[in-house]
Amino acid sequence: MPKDPATRKVPRGARRRKQLIDVAEQMLLERGFPDTTMQMIAEAAGASKETLYRHFESKELLFAEIISRKAQQISGPDTPMARGGSPETVLSELGINLLRTIVTGEASFLFRTVVAEAARTPELGDLFYQRGPGLTVER
């Protein structure tokens, strides 16, 4: 029997994508990149593998989205860097945002994952640079 659309607990679109990224980030942090499968992520998110693959073609691209989100927190559109703030303000906030990311352990998780997987999956290192440090340098 189909569920009533009003009681459906699965969000759609951008909200669903964000939820999938949130679940993947937590699982990758807990289990590591090689020990986390797309099937595991889909199950933990209450989604089908097809839904996950509809949003992300591969685990590497899902990881790249996690990196992109961290880069947004450090130097994204809501920062003085994007708003054209003074050099002092831009550099100060950039430093604070980087420090906040390092202190929470998120940066070391991402860096360790990239270093550990780069030999097996060199494109992961490229994605990390393009979506993370490279994007901040470009901005």
pTM: 0.71
pLDDT band at 9 (very low <50, low <70, confident <90, very high): low
Q: pLDDT grade, residue 132 (50/70/90)?
A: confident
- Could you give the domains of the chain? 13-138 (1.10.357.10)
- Tell me how far apart the alpha carbons of residues 6 and 136 are, in angstroms, rounded to a whole number: 41
pLDDT given at position 11: 53
C-alpha 71/C-alpha 118 separation (Å) is 20
For 34-91, write each residue's pLDDT tens digit. Answer: 899 999 999 999 999 999 999 999 998 998 898 888 877 777 777 777 778 888 988 8
Q: Is 28 left (phi over 0), alpha (psi -120 to 50) or beta?
A: alpha
Question: Distance (Å, rounded) from C-alpha 117 to C-alpha 123?
Answer: 9
